A and B are shown apart, each in its own frame.
Chain A
Amino acid sequence: MFLKYLSELHGVSGNEKDVRDYIIENIDNNVDSYRVDKIGNLLATKKGKSNPAIKVVLTAHMDEVGLFITEITSEGYLKFQTIGYMDVNILVSKPVIINNSVYGVIGSKAIHLQKPEERKQSFLIDQLYIDIGANSKEEAEKNVKLGDYAGFTTAFTSFGSGFYKGKALDNRAGCAVIMELLKQQYNCDLTTVFTVQEELGLRGSKIISNYLNADLAIVVETTSAMDNQEQDRENWVVELGQGPACSLMDQATIYRPELIKKTIQIAESYGIPLQLREGTAAANDAGNIHLAGAGIPTITISIPCRYIHSMSSVISQSDYTNCIELINLILNNCQEYINLPHRGWEVMK
């Protein structure tokens, strides 16, 4: 299964090579051509059965949040910064792996040595460091250098009744969905784009939006669910197991209502569960893609994810397969997305 391998590969923003190589290796037989642009985005094209065909873009980011080594102390410990948004408090008492070879741990001062007031404070990043067992700066430098990336060691597994657990499901799940869809040939021409540095502020997609041209773009993402524990309903974004989620608005995109409506129609007519993403926080590559050229009609379909941006995130197996199926149906019916009257126009008539 693509998702297991993708989840366990390391690809912190700026260091997506291993993920990109894995994707290339596994889509090579299913696409007409591919290329890697100058910032590291992977673009692959697959001609449709129709000629002329509708042009559809499918995109997902390859990068994940993680750590970046910024200093080696005189004792041989590694100081680091986070890449992408991570709550520093979740890093404590976790193992990491650097350069796919050197294990380290992020410890914290033992509870016995803490003053009572220390126990009540959350952690600051400058309190934390990685211990790789090196007994000196020299030994550490033989194994790690400034600018190396550290990732987490979580194994991808099935979880509970009908879930998957793993790291980097944001957004290897989106990558895996696109890889599965590339096994099919559609009437439309597909351009699939696997972007870099999304977690650093949609940086990879900034480049592709400079040359992208399409009739429809579908951003495949994961979205924080916030459905855990006895959380009040109004704080939920989406719920796991209730289907993929269609975005309404986020901090970079106001999704066009007629596209949302069409997506709901398709899901309903084929009996695919679909949720509307109730939150408006955060942003994704759609922010750049919907502004490409003269503007590309863009939707975001997300797999709900618990504990996003942690080392152990959880998605629903049925949401994952329903996401693949929904986008499959959208691609089979993509002509319905073309020349949709803008809702404002409808009102004027």
Chain B
Amino acid sequence: MTKPHLQLAQETIHLLAGKPGVSGYEYKLFPSLEQTFKPLVDDIYTDNMHNCYAVKNGYASNNQTVMLAAHSDEIGLMVTHIDSKGFIHFSPIGGIDDRTLLYQEVTVHGSRDLPGIISFQPDQTKSDKKKSVKLHQMAIDIGHSSEEAQSLVKPGDIVSINRATLDLLDQTIAGKSLDNRAGITVMAVCLSELNSIKHKHNVIAVTTVQEEVGLRGAQTSTEKLNPTIAVAIDVTHAQTIDAKNQVSIHLGKGPAITIGPNIHPTMHALLTACAQDNNLPYQVQAVAGPTGTDARIIQLSSFGIPTGLLSIPLRYMHTSVETVSLKDVVSCGKLLARFIAALPDDLEDISCS
């Protein structure tokens, strides 16, 4: 029996967001990804970059493939050295705002997983309180002596932020790495929906690695699959009171369907028409150049892939309290499934239009 979409989305997002999957170390998510996708698809496999592929065959396979891509990695930290007091110093992996790190609880993935706290050492000589704190003023306390710390932790070890995923009011969820575990959850909802509606084409949902450091997993996985068309699923900034003039997308008003040079016009047209036909809420996001998502590289793979982009509105991106609406996740998953089911028999038609 299939789970209701809202329940599936909630369980999946809680399962995935709590796990560490810092760029380059996404393999730590494999058990959770397998648990998520195995019941929904015909086949699941991984590659040497640690991209993970979930394959759902269509009823009239003509070797045309719809690729879905949502990145699995999250921003994090890497150990650079251990000081004489046993404190761990670090560098960022991905776009971290130093100002969001103070007294965060973290896990240092040393010879075993070690709980830590990012502590702050104010520089006594220059205490300009108006200046933000910098990474070099912080270090991770793991509660061990220097000797113990040296034996447990090595430079190059990965550090992930600890954050329990919280249910807020109105089916809103907050936590770490909802960028882009929310996108992976959309693919799960989509594949679940496709189990109850007929679809012609093969669908391969890919959790891509190393998006936060340069769309690297999307590059190799698209070359590997050479899909006929592709849809990337990521997150986009949702409006908050401190970003009113910069952001027009709202939380809870449906996924954003991107339009612009990065997006094939027919893909955009089919996605918006599908949302309208199915009475699904959506917002249009106009992006004037390449997007900051996997769609950017997918479009330029092989001989050029017609690419669409669906984005889940998300507040406080790249903090450990990223916030999304489950309603947006569910409606995005449904939209994606209906879009796939309504695709023309020959996907090459999309390329020619």
Contact = CB atoms under 8 A, between A and B. Distances in A.
B133 to A, nearest CB: 6
B58 interface: no
A314 B117 contact: yes
Interface footprint category on B: 35 or more
A38 to B, nearest CB: 36
A160 interface: yes
A90 B98 CA distance: 11
Contact of B103 (A120, A153, A307): A307
Contact of B241 (A90, A129, A228): A129
* Residue from A112, A162, A310 having most chain B Cβ neighbours under 10 A: A112
Contacts of B124: 232, 235
B154 interface: no
Interface in A102-121: 102-114, 119-121
A182 B329 CA distance: 54
Nearest to B132: A122
Interface in A305-328: 306-307, 310-312, 314
Interface in B185-242: 237, 240-242
A107 B316 contact: yes
Contact of A107 (B101, B133, B319): B319
A112 B237 contact: yes
Interface in A137-170: 139-140, 143, 153-154, 157, 159-163, 165
Contact of B323 (A107, A135, A307, A310): A107
B130 A107 contact: no
A210 interface: no
A113 B143 CA distance: 36
A92 B166 CA distance: 16
B132 A93 contact: no
B121 A113 contact: no
Interface stretch (B15-23, B167-175, B340-348): B167-175
Contacts of A77: 240-241
B77 to A, nearest CB: 14
A91 to B, nearest CB: 9
Contact of B247 (A111, A113, A131, A232): A113
Given A122-B99, A134-B170, A312-B117, 12 more contacts: A95-B163, A103-B167, A103-B174, A109-B240, A119-B97, A120-B131, A122-B132, A132-B169, A135-B170, A159-B143, A228-B87, A310-B103
15 contacts: A77-B241, A93-B319, A103-B174, A109-B243, A110-B243, A112-B318, A129-B241, A131-B240, A131-B321, A133-B169, A228-B85, A228-B87, A229-B83, A307-B119, A310-B103
Interface of A: 73, 75, 77, 87, 89-90, 92-95, 102-114, 119-123, 127, 129, 131-135, 139-140, 143, 153-154, 157, 159-163, 165, 227-232, 235, 306-307, 310-312, 314
